[in-house]
Structure 1
Amino acid sequence: MPPVPGVSDSETLPFGGPVSESETFSENAQGDLLLAVADRRWRVRGWKKNLGPEQMRVNVQVRREVAEEHVMGREAAYYVDSFDLYAAKARYSYLKQASIELGVPEEIIKRDLGKLLLKLEGLQEASIQAALAPKNPTPTLSAEDELAALNLLRAPNLIERIEADLTRCGVVGESYNLLAGYLAAVSRKLDQPLAVLIQSSSAAGKSSLMDAVLNLMPEEERIQYSAMTGQSLFYLGETDLQHKILAIAEEEGVRQAAYALKLLQSDGELTIASTGKDEATGNL
């Protein structure tokens, strides 16, 4: 890699070596990273916006606490700037100016920046892993719960027990409709699940019937909307609806997305072509 103009070969962030100064990392209510080293106080803002590992653009403030009221004619010494910690030239410019403002040797500022960078890399990696983790992880059943579930599935009067449980939810006289909705809900585990459209006159209890069925389903496998736009289904994650129950309150709320819903039910997937920009070539 060619040398960066204005930066000596020795300008590297130290990642080891004995350091006698104690350091304390913390985070304030605004999410800023704080570092206290001896009489120096660091504050890093905007680090959570760096979602990729290629850059670390942050706003860094450093101030020096002093016991005297005045140091070189000033009550406090501090320096603040926004730059990319991964950019050697910008990093060198920052530590040089901060060294002048605080009256601290450049080696000390350089060492502090190294500590900040290592800490920020760890926090960024944890944030990326958290973002990639499943939004609603499936809970693990205990041995007792798993045995009780298997006993229910093997019960000879399974249908009667399901109808009785649905009746206890407060919906009476709708055993056939409740059972049909329940079967459609549990079919979410199949490759070609069932779909249900509840139709009746106004204020006849459609929402109560749907809620009674949904309340018996795991919360992490239910997705409920009051309405959907025509393009919303196309831009959901690739597996956001896989083996999930999609429930919309009223037909009017999903009228714009009716075409996409029909395709999703018949084909099991949705595809759409949209325009994007190639970052390497600039072509659309």
Structure 2
Amino acid sequence: MTKSWRNLPALRVESDEMLHLDLLRFVASVGIVVRHSFEFFFPESARSTLPSGLALFVDLFFVISGFVIAHVYYGKVDTLSSYGLFLRRRVGRLMPLHWLTLLVSIVLWSGFVAIGKAGNHEPSFELRCIAETALLLNAMLTCGNGISFSSVSWSIGAEMVMYLVFPIFVWMSVRSRLGFLLATVLTLVATIVIDLARNAIDRSWVDLWPPLRALPSFMIGVCLFCFRDKARKLAAPGPLLLLSAALSLAAMISYTHHLVALGLVYVVAITAVAADAPNMPFRLL
């Protein structure tokens, strides 16, 4: 038995190009699971008093997604056929699991309704609402009682919108990297202004319309790819990554304004890209 275990191939990373970004994706996924666990461990009346900053891990995902998509597809979506192939691959990667999750959610909620345990959170069983959820439109449109199956899929819907406009980002950055950087900064500023204008409370960012919330973060990820050559000039990226990650987590679990915590999230992403740059003297992994 021991010998058979020794014959198993050793676990190895597929690539060491983005080890720190991959680590951040794992940390972010854990943080999001913890955030959603509040729904199970705290009564509804107490949830509004809990710090909601852990939800900003989703924005870290958007930044990483922008970088990774640019890393894989930059310069490869310049024709209608390549764009169609890109979208088919994105749909093939995301949608089957989304549809399976939706089906399981419908079955489970049907059981809760049948035994009278649905409570006040019963999703709408209207066919239109289910269809909108299946097409990832549930977070962008309001249907039925406003509660949808697999409501956490809103981020996937926002991601799909980013994939649709990704060729525009590539076109802009090819024409002028500095121009695209300026467009990214202006987009972020405009989104912050909209956020503050609609709701000045400290958790308003997470209540933005999903594609609008994803847009600046995804564009920042693409920008980081375009300027990855500049990452080599950032001194001590490893220690900076550790420090910014600690500050970001502290801001998330406290009652720090979301925009401050969001800025720290962006710093974490920037230092992770720098730490992943080749020939760096200090590496966490």
The TM tier, using the shorter chain, reads under 0.3
In terms of Rg, which structure is larger?
Answer: 1
Q: Which has the higher helix share?
A: 2
Q: State the TM-score, normalizing by the size of structure 2.
A: 0.22
Q: State the TM-score, normalizing by the size of structure 1.
A: 0.22
Bigger RCO of structures 1 and 2 (CA < 8 A, at least 6 apart): 2
